[in-house]
Structure 1
Amino acid sequence: MTSTPHDAGSRDAGHTPARAGHSPIRHGLDVHDVSWSVKGTVIVDGIELTAPATKITGLLGPNGSGKTTLLRAVARLAAPDRGVVHLDGVDLARLRRRDLAQRLAVVEQHAGTDHDVTVLDVVLLGRTPYRSALQGDSSDDRALARQALAQVDMLDFAERRWSTLSGGEKQRVHLARAFTQQPALLVLDEPTNHLDIAHALSLMSLVRRSGLTTFAALHDLNLAATFCDHLVVLDRGRVRASGTPHEVLTPQLLRDVYEVDADVGVHPRTGRPLLTFHPPDEVLPDTAEPWIPGASATPETVARGRS
């Protein structure tokens, strides 16, 4: 992991400053009866959910369950067929794009940039909703951008060309851009995609400390169990379950929605659910020795070799 001066912003790391004129009252995200179809095929159907204010809500579900489609509807990247989305009591569909961008920041799974710009330039895009068309970056804008880069461990890359970054590095830069935007709601589509485990844990910790209302689609169920306060599970475009990680992540739900067998325990350090998945079609005898994978090894030959 690249060494960066975290201490310079660690006391404020992840804590988004309040903006002048913005109400401190937070009601969270409310989605009412949102549906969306493509060429007659229903992708999300009558979605009702709440993402509590200042908490992380994880959006779970297998591939094709409608997670990305729902995120796009919430972020107003596309208008749903019907339904309404409220953020802190405000109907997002009634906001101008500029006002929406001051309240909501999105990090998409495959976010990109077409221009050969520096990393700092990409992060400064987060200040666009606060500037006039002819206004340049202020010293405050650049200070916010550098602080955000330090928070995601990318400050040393500020002057690097965007095109030279890896997929994981780009993902962290886009999160820095979202923090620089100073939103009330953070919408994340697979934010840990392309990240190694150390940066995935660091990123989710940072999001948790931010105090932002966060709505994040996640594939890693243990990561969701560890960092999310509230979970919503989609199955075939509908809400199958919602609640705390302990309420939602049950063996029965995992079997019904994900078609996997799993044990759900309690993590000894965090007290959060800890999922252990069973390999399909592979059940070892109770008396067998642990299987050591090898070119020609099988559970039986390993057990015989140790007897």
Structure 2
Amino acid sequence: MTAAETTQDGSGLRVHDLSWSARGTVIVDDVELTAPAGRITGLIGPNGSGKTTLLRAVARLARPDRGAVHLDGSDVARLRRRELARRLAVVEQHAGTDLDMTALDVVLLGRTPYRTALQADSGADRALALDALARVDMAGFAARKWSTLSGGERQRVQLARALTQQPGLLVLDEPTNHLDVSHALSLLTLVREAGLTSIAALHDLNLAAMFCDHVVVLRRGRAVAAGSPHDVLTPELLRDVYEVDADVGTHPRTGRPLLTFHPPAASQPPAPAPSSQEDS
């Protein structure tokens, strides 16, 4: 799906001709993409391809040099900050460790857009926050200090905070960073079950193939391919963009693409010599 193939009602996320540069170096170059409503869009590409920068521009954490971002038909740049925070939540790759707050306090930050400056957390706010902690398998950590949590635990608390925010769009930058396999699968399953419009930068291409409905490939700041995982994740694209040799099969349980990567020929161990048997 390209930006020209979006739904007629303007729902979902649309990025139009977005560019961003730093110190004269173009990081994101005229990117055009669509994240369909209620689906997970995976943003993939090699290191340095501009994934994080693009997500920051989508979330209005960085001001692009040109271009526009529309969420459900609204220009993100024109939304008031409180309105934007009610409609969009971000889970960043790295979170500070110096907060003197409990995990529950961090999750309750997701209710800030719905309160006045002097308004205390309500019982309903706490119920939402505790439910979100339970959904990310962190119910027993509500009273733990943020600074004592591991990187993976912080990542799950950040997702709980984003869910408590009740947004229409979820922006995730490497959400499985620091997570073991079990929690990575659980987290992305939770994102999928939330039914939100989501856009996630992912390094693990098999996770992208397994969980994303739509993928956009970045290379050197430009979007070079977009579509379903079946259409995009081909051996030819992987060779061209990632410079790797890969086989693409079908997962026996999910029917999704399953990628197997091969080391460069020079790095492959020599084949074992055939064994010889002496006559006895």
Q: TM-score, normalised by structure 2?
A: 0.93
Question: Alignment RMSD, CA only?
Answer: 1.6
Matches within 5 A, 1:81-160: 81-112=65-96, 114-160=98-144
Contact 2:19 2:65 in 1 (8 A): yes
Runs of 4+ displaced beyond 4 Å: none
Ranges in structure 1 where 5+ consecutive residues have no aligned partner? 1-24, 285-290, 292-297
Q: Which one-letter code corresponds to 1:153 in the other structure? A: D
CA distance in 2, matches of 1:38, 1:240: 21
* Amino acid in the other structure paired with 1:128: T
1:70 alignment partner, one of 54, 60, 71: 54
The answer on 1:300 being equivalent to 2:239 is: no
Q: Normalising by the residue count of structure 1, what TM-score does the alignment of the two structures yield?
A: 0.85
User: Residue type matched to 2:46 in 1?
Assistant: P
- The counterpart of 2:204, out of the listed 217, 220, 241, is 220
Aligned to 1:276: 260
Seq. identity, %:
75
Q: How many residue pairs end up in the alignment?
A: 270
Deviations along 1:219-246, whole A, 9 cap, x unmatched?
0000000000000000000001000000
The one-letter code of the counterpart of 2:38 is T
One-letter amino acid matched to 1:168: G
SS in 1 for 2:272: helix
Aligned match for 1:258, one of 242, 265, 276:
242
What does residue 7 of structure 1 align with?
Answer: none
Task: Check 1:68–1:300 CA distance in 2 against 1; reply closer, same or farther (3 A cut).
Answer: same
- Show the counterpart of 1:287: none
Query: Residue type matched to 2:75 in 1?
Result: D
Q: After the TM superposition, which residues 17-28 of structure 1 pair with which residues of structure 2 at under 5 Å, given as runs?
A: 27-28=11-12
CA contact (8 A) 2:19 2:29 kept: yes
Cα 1:39/1:159, change in 2 over 3 Å = same
SS at match of 2:16: strand
CA distance in 2, matches of 1:242, 1:195: 27
Cα distance in 2, alignment partners of residues 177 and 113 from structure 1? 16
Task: Rate the CA distance shift 1:275–1:74 in 2: closer, same or farther, 3 A.
Answer: same
Contact 2:206 2:257 in 1 (8 A): yes
CA distance in 2, matches of 1:189, 1:148: 19
The equivalent of 2:162 in structure 1 is 178
Which amino acid is 1:75 matched to? A
- State the Cα distance separating 1:300 from its structure 2 match: 2.9
Deviation at 1:304, TM superposition (A): 3.6
The answer to whether the 8 Å contact 2:98/2:147 transfers is no
Amino acid in structure 2 at the alignment position of 1:214:
S
Residue 105 of structure 1 and its aligned partner are, at CA, apart by 0.2
SS at match of 1:146: helix
Say if 2:45 and 2:242, in contact at 8 Å, map to a contact too: yes
Give the Cα separation in 1 of the matches to 2:117 and 2:106. Answer: 17
Structure 2 residues without counterparts, runs of 5 or longer = 1-8
Shift of 1:78: 1.1
